[in-house]
Amino acid sequence: MALTEKDLQILPENGIDPENPGKYADLLKDLQGNILRGHGRDSSVHLFLQFKPGQVQELKKWIKVFANKITSAQKQADEAKLYRDKKIAGDPFVNFFLTRKGYEYLEFKPFQIPGDQPFRFGMKNDTIRKLLGDPVVEKWDPGLQEEIHALLLIADDNVVSLLQTVNKITRELYRLAQVVHREDGFILKNEQGEHIEHFGFVDGISQPLFLKRDIERAKSKTFNKKWEGSKWDSRAPLSLVLVKDPNGKSEDSYGSYLVCRKLEQDVKAFIDTEEYLADLAKDKESGLPLESGLQIKGDVELGAALMMGRFRDGTPLTMKGSELRRTELPDDTKAGEFDDFNYDNDTQGLKCPFHTHVRKTNPRGDTGRVDSSGDTPEEALEKERNHRIARRAVSYGVDYQSLPDGKKWGQKGFKPPVTDSGLFFLCFQADIANQFNFMQSAWANANNFVQVNVGVDPIIGQTQPGDGRADEATGNRTQKYPIAWGSETTKTICNFNLWVHFKGGEYFFAPSISSLKNI
């Protein structure tokens, strides 16, 4: 029997188990992988395709065959198990996504094209661009300025085999499509082997969880080893990320919307700012510390956490404000796995400022405290939780640790990149307007958030000169910081540099595999 809408909205008590999928069996076989859990491969290649004119029938033929190579959610789980049990590596991981223009090129009728509004507009649309605070299209990477029809994601732990697969696919596509942009992604790791992003923070900790294994693992990292009484429940219903595929061939054919954004990180400028916040930055002429920083006694790591909301090792800033960070976590839990917290003990943002990236992108109940709609705190929290996204980002650019003289984060001689490295941000959701777009525009970019004038998210908040959120001339952003951890005295600081630069992106749909086999 087909799944009902209710089946998707209800949170299965302990998550979906691909080893014993029950009524979710058809869904998992027809759904692309990477949506319900990240593909987990160390290296990936992303090919942005523009279909060549006059090739509709040939392309459809190619897609039909290619669909057999796409990794389903079920296959992803089966291969992961095989690897866990017998260390046998799986096939290359493959995803295929389409834009609205891609669907149109392939002659789908309007009612067959997934209906989400931002998806239909596309990311280059002026209204969307202004909503998100994105720069004009002429400033994007040249390839991403082009009309994009599809995105292919190919991932593998073995780089040689990855490149062989990519070469084979590009040869097949030669007559049918042009690769207008290629982005190579990788998983950056710190000295402890944890997954980090270019600023050096452990990443990918807090995610909505759908599958039994992930849920059990997260539960074991809560203080009480159960969800009841925990401060944060990371489980999520399938309706957070899945929508019916209008072209699916089974009753349980689902897809998901993908937001893709290339975000360049100026790591040097970020480090300069954490030093500046920590009162370490020296005046160029006198060599004396600048007076403008905070009173945090040169604790640069605290300076960085005051922007991110977690320390580099993952410790939530709301829990700890000093060097003694790796303490007081549940047994065997590393800070980079820890997610059982909220801001109930920090309602004024004196420990973890409201502008910090993790607080703005997941307020964990903050918005309920100022909700004027008459909702109970539980209802407000439920609405807030519906804005969550499934993040699947990878790093791009210089993988300095793989260079012969490469230095890892924190090692002496590490040279922070300024340009051409960053986060290739990907996230899945069921409703782009209510999820990614809301998070970026109503939370990250907003100057008022829970309180007035807290400032934009220093990591991803986007402001453009003249939009009222920034200094008119420079586009610089201001934030309100407690001068020390827990202090009631705050200081408004204008960051002298912007360190995350949007380089282009697009909205895609991940069609069900059966819709592609029958295209």
Contact set with ligand HEM (CB under 6 A): 197, 199, 201, 203-206, 263, 265, 308, 310, 357-358, 361-362, 389, 391, 422-423, 425, 436, 439-440, 444, 459-460, 500
Compare residues 67 and 460 and give the one whose CB is closer to ligand HEM: 460
Residues 166, 168, 173, 177, Cα dihedral to 10°: 20
Q: Could you tell me the smallest distance in angstroms from the CB atom of residue 365 to ligand HEM?
A: 12
Compare residues 21 and 122 and give the one whose CB is closer to ligand HEM: 122
**Any alpha helices (H) in 246-308, and if so which ranges?**
267-277, 300-308
Q: Could you tell me the smallest distance in angstroms from the CB atom of residue 441 to ligand HEM?
A: 9
Q: Could you tell me the smallest distance in angstroms from the CB atom of residue 191 to ligand HEM?
A: 17
Give me 313's structure tokens: 């090792």
Q: Could you tell me the smallest distance in angstroms from the CB atom of residue 428 to ligand HEM?
A: 12
Compare residues 177 and 427 and give the one whose CB is closer to ligand HEM: 427
User: In which residue are the tokens 């939009």 written?
Assistant: 467
Q: How many CA atoms lie within 13 A of 284 on its CB side?
A: 1
Contact between 218 and 224 under an 8 Å Cβ cutoff? The reply is no
> Quick check: helix, strand or coil at residue 481?
strand
Q: Could you tell me the smallest distance in angstroms from the CB atom of residue 93 to ligand HEM?
A: 21
Q: Beta-strand (E) ranges in 437-499?
A: 478-482, 490-494
Compare residues 64 and 369 and give the one whose CB is closer to ligand HEM: 369
| Secondary structure (DSSP) of 89-116 | --PPEEEEEE-HHHHHHTT--GGGS---
Q: Could you tell me the smallest distance in angstroms from the CB atom of residue 256 to ligand HEM?
A: 16
Q: Could you tell me the smallest distance in angstroms from the CB atom of residue 226 to ligand HEM?
A: 20
If we measure between CA atoms, which residue out of 322, 314, 321 comes closest to residue 340?
Answer: 314
Distance CA 249, CA 254 (A): 10
Distance CA 362, CA 427 (A): 15
C-alpha distance across the termini of the chain, in Å: 25
Q: Could you tell me the smallest distance in angstroms from the CB atom of residue 128 to ligand HEM?
A: 14
Compare residues 267 and 296 and give the one whose CB is closer to ligand HEM: 267
How, if at all, do strands 500-510 and 243-244 pair? unpaired
Give me 118's structure tokens: 């931002």
Compare residues 51 and 436 and give the one whose CB is closer to ligand HEM: 436
Compare residues 205 and 240 and give the one whose CB is closer to ligand HEM: 205
Q: How many CA atoms lie within 13 A of 313 on its CB side?
A: 18
Distance CA 243, CA 5 (A): 10
Q: Could you tell me the smallest distance in angstroms from the CB atom of residue 391 to ligand HEM?
A: 6
Q: Could you tell me the smallest distance in angstroms from the CB atom of residue 195 to ligand HEM?
A: 9
Q: Could you tell me the smallest distance in angstroms from the CB atom of residue 351 to ligand HEM?
A: 15
Compare residues 77 and 317 and give the one whose CB is closer to ligand HEM: 317
Task: Find all residues with CB under 8 Å of 496, minimum gap 6, and list them.
Answer: 273, 276, 476
Q: Identify any residues that bridge with 502 across adjacent strands, giving them in sequence order.
A: 263
If we measure between CA atoms, which residue out of 102, 365, 140, 152 comes closest to residue 264?
Answer: 140
CB atoms within 10 A of CB 223: 16
If we measure between CA atoms, which residue out of 345, 62, 95, 282 comes closest to residue 177?
Answer: 62
Compare residues 33 and 38 and give the one whose CB is closer to ligand HEM: 38
Compare residues 230 and 361 and give the one whose CB is closer to ligand HEM: 361
Q: Is 60 exposed, middle or buried (0-12, 13-18, 19+ CB in 10 A)?
A: middle
Compare residues 409 and 425 and give the one whose CB is closer to ligand HEM: 425
Q: Could you tell me the smallest distance in angstroms from the CB atom of residue 243 to ligand HEM?
A: 19
Contact between 301 and 277 under an 8 Å Cβ cutoff? The reply is no
Compare residues 113 and 258 and give the one whose CB is closer to ligand HEM: 258
Note the residue count of the chain.
519
